[in-house]
Structures are given as structure tokens and as C-alpha cells.
């Protein structure tokens, strides 16, 4: 089923803010609002390989879209009960804070100021990234420290822009920031010679390079400028909704650790003797009570989207819609394999 798509602009958000959307959103819990509405409103950005993209039929897919679908499955038992909102970078946090979105799932970096000053709560990271630079191979540039005096294309209103300024200042590079609101325009400018380099999260740039006319003509420099824990976010003040989103993300990770997949979740629920599996899938215990969800909420999540490893392989890895980023040995591996993907006990 095609998911509903909504494009939110700055003007529309301003009208909503003036109309008291925050008051309306706080009149009842987000869970109550979502159940009454019948679908989750989940915010992504403009199409970006790996994270959120559109197929030829106009259906959204990707790592962050899968988080949206997982929440819809947990709350409403159906991944299709979802409205995907494509919101500009400049408007993303406003759209969430004033009630236009129930959930933000769109390569947003968790930072102290964002988590404490925007009226938002960030959830567990679903991807650990770092910022880097893309350059043309024939430029002769092999290190970011060779970018002294360079013009660098960057998306405005992001931590990427701030990190670039910090990196230039720290290393006395005198880099000129050439800013854009749309990453597509940013990349087109770079490809047409308007910038010496482009900067962004390395995973996003890897996906973007794959769509360049001649990908082999470009490379990502070895330096990593920053820590970029990419995470979903919800409005502050609704702990119940935050718990649902938080533990939905953890369920994806925990399912991979327990070996529960989209293909075997029915068999695991029916035949497993592992108490951890039985509790998670609602056969035993009462994990659902504190969340206000049905006993099979986690079963619906895995049945609907698979576990974290399956999602990663499909969209970030070597799947047909993937962007070819190897997970092995990275921070995005399970903690049992030396990574940071870790779920607290589900008991």
C-alpha cells in the first residue's frame, strides 16, 4: 500500500504555529491522538539514498522510513497506517515541536542543545555516522588539510555547517562555506564546478556519489570531522509516546541479537523455548502494559519491517535498494560484534 505523503513548507508551519498547534497537540497524549486519527505522522526529509527515498511508484523506503513503519506497527499493528511528511531541513524541528508531526526520523544528529533547547527528546541512535568531504579524484586532494582556501558546498541549518566552520577555524584553512537548503542543489553545484568539495555525513555522501554521472570520478577523504549519532526525536512532555518510540527502536536491535527475523518471527513465537524471545513477542509476561500497547506490539514490529540487521542490509548495505556501506567492524554493528548497537534488557 502506498504511504500518504505530505510536503510541509515554512509558510504552512508558520500558520500552524500562529494557530496554536502546540496547544492542540498537548490536549491529549500523542498515543491517543494517533489512535483516534488512525495513522502515525512521521517526518523525513527530501529523498536521500539509504535513509528515505521514493521508488518508481511513489512509495517511501529506507532506514529511517523503516523506523516510521515500525512505530506504526507497534501502535496500530499495521506498517501502512502511516503518513510520511517530507519536511525541509530548516522547518524540521518546528514541525515536530508544534504538533505537525508525531515523530521525526530523518538523519538528525543528537546534540546537547537540540536535546535541551528545542522542546524535543531524542531517541536511541539508529545510525552512527561522521562528517567528511567529497572531492574529485583528479583534484589531487588526498587530505582535508589540503582544502586551505577552498570553497566547500554544505547544507545550511545543519550541524554539518557548524562543524565545517569549526574545522576550518581549528586548522586555519580559511574555507569558504557555500550554503544550500537543498542537498540536491548543493551536489549539482559541486558537480558543475561551483565548489572544490562537498561536505556531509559520510554515509549520505556515499549514497549521493552512487547517483553521480560517473561515481568513480569522486572519493570521500579519510578524515572524519565529527560524531554524528543519527536518531529519531519526539516532542518533550509526553513520556508515554517517547517510551513507545524508544522501545520500538530497541526492539529492532534486540530482535537481531535474539535471531528473530521477519521470516521466522511466527515460528519463533510458536516454538521458541527462550524466555527472552517469548517475553519480547508477547507470549509470556507483560512488557506491553507500561507502553499502553497490545501484547503483540513487538511481534508486529518485526513482522512488519524485520530486525535492525535486516533493515540495515536492505537500505544501507548490499540489498537491491542499499547504498553499499559495509557494517562489519563499524559502530553500527551489534555490541556483540564490537559495535554500539545495544538494547537494554526487555524484561
Does residue 131 have a pLDDT over 60? yes
Percent of the chain with pLDDT over 70: 92
Q: What is the mean pLDDT of residues 196-200?
A: 96
Number of Cβ within 10 Å of residue 134's Cβ equals: 23
Which position has the grid cell 510541509? 8
* Separation of alpha carbons 347 and 330, rounded Å: 28
Average pLDDT over residues 26-38: 90
Q: What's the whole-number mean pLDDT along residues 283-288?
A: 96
pTM: 0.85
- CA separation (Å) from 341 to 28, 217, 256? 33, 33, 10
Q: Are 173 and 167 in contact (CB under 8 A)?
A: yes
The more confident residue out of 128 and 89 is: 128
State residue 195's pLDDT score.
Answer: 96
What percent of the chain has pLDDT above 90? 84
pLDDT bracket for residue 286 (50, 70, 90): very high
**H-only helix segments in the chain:** 10-18, 21-26, 30-37, 63-76, 92-97, 112-117, 159-170, 183-191, 202-209, 239-258, 265-271, 275-280, 297-305, 308-315
Pairing of strands 218-220, 197-201: unpaired
C-alpha neighbours within 13 Å on the C-beta side of residue 28: 7
Domains defined along the chain, listed by start? 4-129+229-337 (3.40.190.10), 131-226 (3.40.190.10)
pLDDT tens-digit map of 107-126? 999 999 999 999 999 999 99
Q: What is the pLDDT of residue 27?
A: 64
Span 219-274, pLDDT tens digits: 999 999 999 999 999 999 999 999 999 999 999 999 999 999 999 999 999 999 99
Amino acid at each position: 500500500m502506498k504511504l500518504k505523503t505530505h510536503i510541509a513548507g515554512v509558510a504552512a508551519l508558520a500558520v500552524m504555529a500562529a494557530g496554536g498547534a502546540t496547544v492542540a497537540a498537548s490536549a491529549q497524549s500523542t498515543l491517543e491522538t494517533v489512535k483516534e486519527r488512525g495513522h502515525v505522522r512521521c517526518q523525513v526529509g527530501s529523498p536521500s539514498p539509504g535513509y528515505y527515498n521514493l521508488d518508481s511508484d511513489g512509495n517511501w523506503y529506507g532506514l529511517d522510513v523503516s523506523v516510521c513503519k515500525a512505530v506504526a506497527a507497534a501502535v496500530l499493528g499495521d506498517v501502512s497506517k502511516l503518513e510520511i511528511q517530507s519536511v525541509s531541513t530548516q522547518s524540521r524541528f518546528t514541525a515536530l515541536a508544534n504538533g505537525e508531526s508525531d515523530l521525526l526520523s530523518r538523519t538528525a544528529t543528537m546534540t546537547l542543545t537540540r536535546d535541551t533547547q528545542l522542546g524535543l527528546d531524542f531517541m536511541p541512535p539508529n545510525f552512527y555516522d561522521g562528517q567528511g568531504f567529497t572531492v574529485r579524484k583528479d583534484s589531487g586532494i588526498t587530505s582535508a588539510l589540503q582544502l586551505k582556501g577552498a570553497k566547500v558546498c554544505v547544507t545550511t541549518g545543519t550541524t554539518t555547517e557548524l562543524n565545517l566552520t569549526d574545522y576550518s577555524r581549528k586548522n586555519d584553512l580559511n574555507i569558504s562555506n557555500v550554503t544550500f537548503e537543498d542537498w540536491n542543489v548543493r551536489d549539482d553545484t559541486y558537480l558543475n564546478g561551483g565548489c572544490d568539495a562537498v561536505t556531509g555525513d559520510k554515509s549520505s555522501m556515499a549514497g549521493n556519489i552512487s547517483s553521480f554521472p560517473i561515481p568513480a570520478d569522486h572519493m570521500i577523504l579519510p578524515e572524519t570531522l565529527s560524531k554524528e549519532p543519527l536518531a529519531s526525536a519526539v516532542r518533550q512532555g509526553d513520556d508515554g509516546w517517547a517510551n513507545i518510540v524508544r522501545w520500538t527502536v530497541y526492539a529492532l536491535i534486540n530482535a537481531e541479537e535474539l535471531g528473530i527475523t521477519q521470516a521466522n518471527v511466527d515460528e519463533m513465537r510458536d516454538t521458541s523455548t527462550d524466555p527472552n524471545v517469548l517475553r519480547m513477542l508477547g507470549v509470556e509476561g507483560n512488557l506491553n502494559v507500561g507502553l499502553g500497547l497490545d501484547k503483540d506490539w513487538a511481534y508486529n514490529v518485526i513482522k512488519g519491517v524485520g530486525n535492525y540487521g535486516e533493515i540495515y542490509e536492505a537500505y544501507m548495505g548490499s540489498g537491491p535498494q542499499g547504498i553499499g556501506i559495509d557494517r562489519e567492524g563499524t559502530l553500527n554493528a551489534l555490541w556483540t560484534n564490537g559495535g554500539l548497537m545495544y538494547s537494554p534488557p526487555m524484561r
